[in-house]
Amino acid sequence: MRRRFVVRSSAVTGALALALAGAIAASPADASTPDSKQVPPKVPTSVGYGGAVSSLDPVVSEVGLNVLKKGGNATDAAVAMAAAIGVTDPYSAGIGGGGFFVHYDAATGEVETIDGRETAPAAMEHDAFIDPATGKPYPFTPDLVTGGVSVGVPGTPATWERALELWGTTSLSQALRPATTVAEEGFVVDQLFHDQTVINQERFEAITSTSELFLPGGEAPAVGSVFRNPELAATYRMLADGGMDAFYEGALAQEIADVVQAPPVATGTELPVPVGSMTTEDLASYEVVDRDPAVVSYRGYDVYGMAPPASGGATVGEALNILEQFDLESLDEPAVMHHYIEASALAYADRAAYLGDSDFVDVPLAGLLDDTYAKERACLINPSAAAPRPVAAGDARSYDGVCGEPAAPGTEPEDTESTSTTNLTAVDRWGNVVEYTLTIEQIGGSGIVVPGRGFLLNNELTDFSLVYDAADPNRIEAGKRPRSSMSPTIVLEDGRPVLALGSPGGSFIITTVLQMLIHRIDLGMTIEEAIAAPRATPQTSTSTLAEQAFVDRYGTALAGYGQAFRPYSAALGAATAIEIGPGGLLTAVAEPTRLGGGSARVVWPTGE
């Protein structure tokens, strides 16, 4: 079997040597299949011991919980949950996409990460997103995101294989069985699944294989009906039998390459459905990367996140370093939110200037996460007034911490708004922790279902800058990984994990994670309060997107600082988190209302 990983780290360990033999014998994932037509409860908060999981879907959390109950560890649970997400939330994630896996190893005390980001095909051109008919970029949605040109080489299957190899106690075959059963027997369609199908109807109708699966009879599946995906079940069985070579080589790889190069376009569609250049060689050569995490210290905590090509660890980390220059505990909530907005804008400006795939561009990560650099950036924050937008990037390669003259305004364009992607959190009885964010990018990805295989391909390459600029760290290049906002985060205190959290939401992910950390650490909210609190997503524009509840709560006070807001009707992020308290008490939380609410479960709830 070909090894599908490369190490970019000096701190990667082998598979967990201390896994219990009994856990292996119990085949934990095999024993974890729920009754998929009896909808498990949506529980936004669970408190207890013995392990915990949190996700945005009750079936997914039930799968993870049962893995833990049968002796599996956090990695076993996370992979089984991720496979189930590909069934019940196929518009957000699945084997046609990629993601970032962050793991705390209780045996070694180390935080390690797997970069399973998608890559651009070897033949991708710099002008791939330019419509030859107009000489301008295709309209982003629905034109550019629907078609083969946006599809990156998937990394999710290789991520599962690598995670289980490093830290799991079960086989890939066993980990896939619960999701296979859910795909075969079906799950109950909820309002979110129905609505997301309707939103994608024009795109799905443009691709015959997609409309056949997700628009049976030409309509979105009805709420309360049972949706089955036997084609995906068969695909999972094939991977269980043949390992990931069955995905990246052979018949399935050829089918993926074929559908990217020639999508099955429906007669009469008005969408251009631009084709891609992916080949079987691109799939066969794909590798996940073991990377050192991005880490900063913040008020006595060590905050670990993903390094580039993810921008989450660097941007969250830089913003925290900037905020640490201020005594937020002495301020009222509106003043803290003012500082949060200003620090975020500064960090986002640096994100645009510096962050990309570090295997292709020189990313000054050490500078971006340096306290001296943060001190210099913090000089630009006026405690009583908002800075003119957009703010300019700093010089992360040359700094001395001394306040200088304010820089001229910057010109960073904002990322496309999105509520796509998904996130899961898992902690086991031994203290291992997983935070995993995975995606197919747009809700519905590229809109292309691989014919007969039951899964959507990603449109992740649209995370590259649409117009090529040789000075842009996120420019299109063959073989490169596009910049991501995914921000799976694990927080340690005195070397032990105390909190794990992450969120979907495109470029909103960074601010969701950052705001939750501020709410928990600086404002002293409980983790339940922190996940439910209203959100704003400051980046670099002249006004800040905010949920109406945030405007209602802080808008009047923040107007006095010169802050302006644009109410955002959809959810900003949809987080999951687990807090590890004294004595190992676990508080697992999921969104109580956003996207219909998630589900957080513990193995042994208190009081039972």
Of 17 and 470, more confident? 470
Longest dimension (CA), the chain: 66
Predicted confidence band at 411 (pLDDT cuts at 50, 70, 90)?
low
Residue 409 pLDDT: 61
Q: Is 50 exposed, middle or buried (0-12, 13-18, 19+ CB in 10 A)?
A: middle
The rounded distance, in Å, linking the Cα atoms of 451 and 398 is 52
- Rounded to an integer, the average pLDDT of 225-244 is 97
* Least confident piece of the model among 196-200, 432-436, 569-573: 569-573
CA distance 250 to 244: 10
Least confident range from 36-45, 169-178, 247-256: namely: 36-45
User: Could you tell me the two tokens for 312?
Assistant: 């989450």
Contact 388, 409 (CB under 8 A): yes
Domains of the chain: 291-417+487-581 (1.10.246.130)
Confidence category of residue 15, pLDDT binned at 50, 70, 90: very low
Q: What is the mean pLDDT of the chain?
A: 92
Average pLDDT for 311-333: 97
Query: Which three-class secondary structure state does DSSP give residue 604?
Result: strand
Q: What pLDDT, on a 0 to 100 scale, did the predictor assign at position 26?
A: 38
**Residues 415/542, Cβ–Cβ less than 8 Å:** no
What the block records as the tokens of 115 is 């970069």
Amino acid found at 594: R
pLDDT of residue 39: 81
Q: Helix or strand or coil: residue 552?
A: helix
What pLDDT, on a 0 to 100 scale, did the predictor assign at position 141? 87
Per-residue pLDDT at 10: 37
pLDDT of residue 20: 27
DSSP-derived pairing of the beta strands 288-291 and 576-580: unpaired
Contacts of 519 (CB under 8 A, 6+ apart): 525, 529, 530, 533
Pairing state of beta strands 187-188 and 45-55?
A: unpaired
What pLDDT is stored for residue 21 in this prediction?
A: 27
The total of other beta-carbon atoms located within 10 Å of residue 191's CB is 10
Q: What is the pLDDT of residue 8?
A: 72
Contact present, 138 and 272 (Cβ < 8 Å) = yes
Q: Running DSSP on this structure, what letter comes out for residue 144?
A: I
Whose structure tokens read 């996140």?
305
Task: Say what the pLDDT of residue 419 is.
Answer: 54
Specify the DSSP class assigned to residue 140.
Answer: I
Q: Which residue has the tokens 């056949």?
A: 212
Instruction: Choose the most confident range, by mean pLDDT, from 9-23, 127-141, 252-266.
Output: 252-266
Q: Where are the beta strands (DSSP E) in 245-381?
A: 288-291, 294-298, 301-305
Question: Would you say 369 and 294 are in contact if contact means Cβ atoms under 8 Å apart?
Answer: yes
How many angstroms separate the CA atoms of 438 and 101, rounded? 8
pLDDT digits (tens, 9 = 90+) for 75-91: 999 999 999 999 999 99
pLDDT at 570: 84
Beta strands in 63-153 (DSSP E): 98-105, 110-116, 130-131, 136-137
CB 275 within 8 A of CB 207: no
Answer positive or negative: Cα dihedral of 163, 165, 169, 170. Answer: positive
Cα–Cα separations (whole angstroms), residue 484 to 27, 352, 439, 460? 35, 11, 10, 9
Percent of the chain residues past pLDDT 70, beyond the cut: 92
pLDDT tier at 37, thresholds 50, 70, 90: low
Query: What pLDDT, on the 0 to 100 scale, is given for residue 5?
Result: 66
Neighbours of 255 (CB within 10 A): 15
Residues 554/424, Cβ–Cβ less than 8 Å = no
- Cβ-Cβ contacts under 8 Å for 536 (sequence gap 6 or more): 337, 341, 511, 515, 544, 545, 546, 547, 550, 554, 565, 572
User: Quick one: pLDDT at residue 13?
Assistant: 30
Q: Which residues have a Cβ under 8 Å from the Cβ of 156 and sit 6 or more positions away?
A: 82, 93, 94, 95, 96, 97, 98, 99, 116, 438
Helix or strand holding residue 587 (H, E): strand 586-590
| Pair of tokens at residue 390 | 């957009």
Asked whether the predicted pLDDT for residue 581 surpasses 80, the reply is yes
Q: What percent of the chain has pLDDT over 90?
A: 87
Compute φ and ψ for 45, nearest 5 degrees.
-140, 130
Q: What pTM does this model have?
A: 0.94
Contact at 8 Å (CB) between 202 and 271?
yes
CA distance 87 to 236: 10
User: Does residue 584 surpass a pLDDT of 50?
Assistant: yes
pLDDT at residue number 343: 97
SS3 category, 99: strand
Is the distance from CB of 573 to CB of 536 less than 8 angstroms?
Answer: no
User: Would the pLDDT of 375 be above 60?
Assistant: yes
The predicted-structure confidence for 272-285, as pLDDT tens digits, reads as follows 999 999 999 999 99
Contact yes or no for 68/19 (Cβ under 8 A):
no
* Residue 608: per-residue pLDDT: 59
Question: Could you tell me which residues are beta bridge partners of residue 449?
Answer: 456
Q: Which residues pair with 489 in a beta bridge?
A: 501
Tell me the pLDDT tens digit for each residue of 153-162.
999 999 999 9
Which residues face 8 on adjacent strands? 291
The pLDDT assigned to 506 comes to 87
Three-class DSSP category at 565: strand
Give the separation between CA 317 and CA 315, rounded to whole angstroms.
Answer: 5
Q: How far apart are CA 553 and CA 336, in angstroms?
A: 13
Radius of gyration in angstroms for the set of CA atoms belonging to the chain, rounded to a whole number = 23
Catalytic site residues? Answer: 421
Selected residue with higher pLDDT from 408 and 383: 383
Task: Compute the average pLDDT of residues 160-189.
Answer: 97
For 98, 415, 453, the CA distances from 482, given in Å and listed in that order, are: 11, 13, 26
DSSP-derived letter for residue 102 is: E
Q: Which of 310, 322, 594, 276 is nearest to 458 (CA)?
A: 276
Give yes or no for a contact between 333 and 524, defined as CB atoms under 8 angstroms apart. no
Question: Averaged over 314-335, what is the pLDDT?
Answer: 97
CA distance 576 to 422: 9
Judged by average pLDDT, the poorest of 294-308, 392-406, 434-448, 562-576 is 392-406
